[in-house]
Amino acid sequence: MRANYKMQRLFVPHRLTAGEPVEADPQQAHYLLNVMRMSSGSEVLVFNGQDGEWLARLAEAGKKKAQLVPVAQTRTQPPPPDLLYCFAPLKQGRIDYMVQKAVEMGAGRLQPVITQHTQMSTVGLDRLQANAIEAAEQCGILAIPKVAQVVKLDRLLWEWEPGRRLIFCDESADSNNPTEALKAVSESKIGLLVGPEGGFSDDERRQLKTLPYVTPIPLGPRILRADTAAVAALAVIQATIGDWH
């Protein structure tokens, strides 16, 4: 069954079983009761990233509290996407946008990576996870991508999973067309690496190109902002070797 985008969808960090009420968090309760003006018996869709999607009915427990009672499962839980999205952190606002779009485009795991030109020294992982959840709520996604701890690029490459192809956006590539390089990829497991606002350093680019599991791709004739490059790269990967083709 496809998602019903006309109904409010909420992520709840509780197991979902028919007839077993779950507590909405204070922000969700405020939104349902005071913003959406819902009352007892109103229906919403809930999911937890494990038990599929459920139709639930609102049961008020007070002016600031609300319970959601699962009634029936509307969609079973699919396997999580396996696309690993690695990215250099950007400034707040732009990184929020980038994470949300990555989730919408099918990223299954989110890996912040510190490169030589990364401008952000700290990364709010809780905020990134909240953005991932919000994107899933809005787009009908059932699996919630996990945000991993920040790693440096050297460590990411040293610990790279055998059998997973790493694609990185190379602004110095000779060609403007990424599809030829992508069509040569035979692995089913894919990772994407998008650099920071200043791009990869020459040393990083040389290091990446020497690794046998790495495929560099261009992203057209124009220089793209890092957040735009992420969306463009994810789209061309999904269309060429991902779950769109």
Say what the pLDDT of residue 4 is: 52
> Kind of pairing, strands 164-169 and 214-217?
parallel
Tell me if residue 204 falls in helix, strand or coil. Answer: helix
Task: Give pLDDT tens digits for 140-171.
Answer: 999 999 999 999 999 999 999 999 999 998 87
Q: Which residue has the tokens 């197991």?
A: 15
Average pLDDT, integer, range 74-82: 94
> Kind of pairing, strands 66-75 and 164-169?
unpaired
Residues 169, 167: Cα–Cα separation, whole Å: 7
Hey, what amino acid is at 89? P
Q: Is the pLDDT of residue 19 over 60?
A: yes
Q: Give percent of the chain with pLDDT exceeding 70.
A: 97
pTM of the model: 0.90
Q: Is the pLDDT of residue 209 over 90?
A: yes
Q: How many CB atoms lie within 10 A of CB 241?
A: 20
Hey, what amino acid is at 219? L
Residues 48, 77: Cα–Cα separation, whole Å: 10
Q: Is the pLDDT of residue 5 over 70?
A: no
Task: Give pLDDT tens digits for 83-129.
Answer: 999 999 988 888 999 999 999 999 999 999 999 999 887 889 999 99
Say what the pLDDT of residue 192 is: 97
Q: Give percent of the chain with pLDDT exceeding 90.
A: 70
**Residue 225, both tokens:** 């902002």
Q: How sure is the predictor about 61, in pLDDT bands with cuts at 50, 70 and 90?
A: low
Average pLDDT, integer, range 207-226: 88
Residues 31, 9: Cα–Cα separation, whole Å: 12
Q: How sure is the predictor about 1, in pLDDT bands with cuts at 50, 70 and 90?
A: very low
The conformation of residue 135, written as its DSSP 8-state character, comes to H
Task: Give pLDDT tens digits for 169-183.
Answer: 887 777 778 998 899
Where do the domains of the chain lie, and which CATH numbers do they carry?
A: 9-75 (2.40.240.20), 83-240 (3.40.1280.10)
Average pLDDT of the chain to the nearest whole number: 90
Which strand (E) or helix (H) includes residue 166? strand 164-169
Average pLDDT, integer, range 51-76: 91
